[in-house]
Amino acid sequence: QQQVKQSPQSLIVQKGGISIINCAYENTAFDYFPWYQQFPGKGPALLIAIRPDVSEKKEGRFTISFNKSAKQFSLHIMDSQPGDSATYFCAAGGLTGGGNKLTFGTGTQLKVEL
Amino acid sequence: DAGVTQSPTHLIKTRGQHVTLRCSPISGHKSVSWYQQVLGQGPQFIFQYYEKEERGRGNFPDRFSARQFPNYSSELNVNALLLGDSALYLCASSLDQQGVREKLFFGSGTQLSVL
């Protein structure tokens, strides 16, 4: 019930291409879906987040698509750059079930090649 | 402005020992959460504290405990360390307005190695 499944585990994209990472959740009590970017030796940093009342949110080159009925959401990185090479985590949060906690996916290691 | 600061950055302990990790939230943030990140996995929720009270606890054994101080800084304590406790321990802070979803700001973590 608390799992967030993320795919792919790793991704290689050419510079200028589109990177797509997918996540699925089970618990319908989740009401907040952020994406985090993590560089080696650093903590995760929030990229973009969406709530289930909208189907898409765009911030710069980053877009979240959200499908409530399918319980799936995805991150699209347009015009991918070598500086985007990092590990990306989807997460889901709900105010029920013990605090303001996030349940994270297992991560996607993105490499953007020149 | 300083971000979330954690100390120490690295720590090596042996099995059976205990460890204390420290976190200072962003100025003005009243909520601190702790996460454990095992290599190759996503962070896993351990605790959330707000105004010195525990708001939530993840699925971790009683060997894990935490507290929050009047200045909103926090400590995570782990007793009777096991090899499996080796991980990056992340602290995150937020303003935590009641009932409002907020951005979590993570520190760079404490890398704990248990030998």
Q: Is A62 left (phi over 0), alpha (psi -120 to 50) or beta?
A: beta
**Average pLDDT score over residue span B5-28:** 97
The CATH superfamily of B5-114 is: Immunoglobulins (2.60.40.10)
Which residue in B42, B105, B109 is closest to A89 by CB distance? B42
Tens digit of each residue's pLDDT (9 = 90 or more) over B53-95: 998 899 999 999 999 999 999 999 999 999 999 999 999 998 8
Looking at per-residue confidence, does B30 or A13 come out higher?
A: A13
**B45 CA: distance to closest CA in chain A (Å):** 6
| Range in A28-32, A52-56, A60-64 the model is least confident about | A28-32
CATH 1.10.10.10 fits A4-113, yes or no: no
* Predicted pLDDT of residue B1: 60
Query: In this predicted structure, what is the pLDDT of residue A97?
Result: 52
Q: What is the CA radius of gyration of chain A?
A: 14
Chain B contacts of A6, Cβ < 8 Å? 42
Is B22's pLDDT higher than 60? yes
Q: Is there a contact between A109 and A11 (Cβ–Cβ < 8 Å)? A: yes
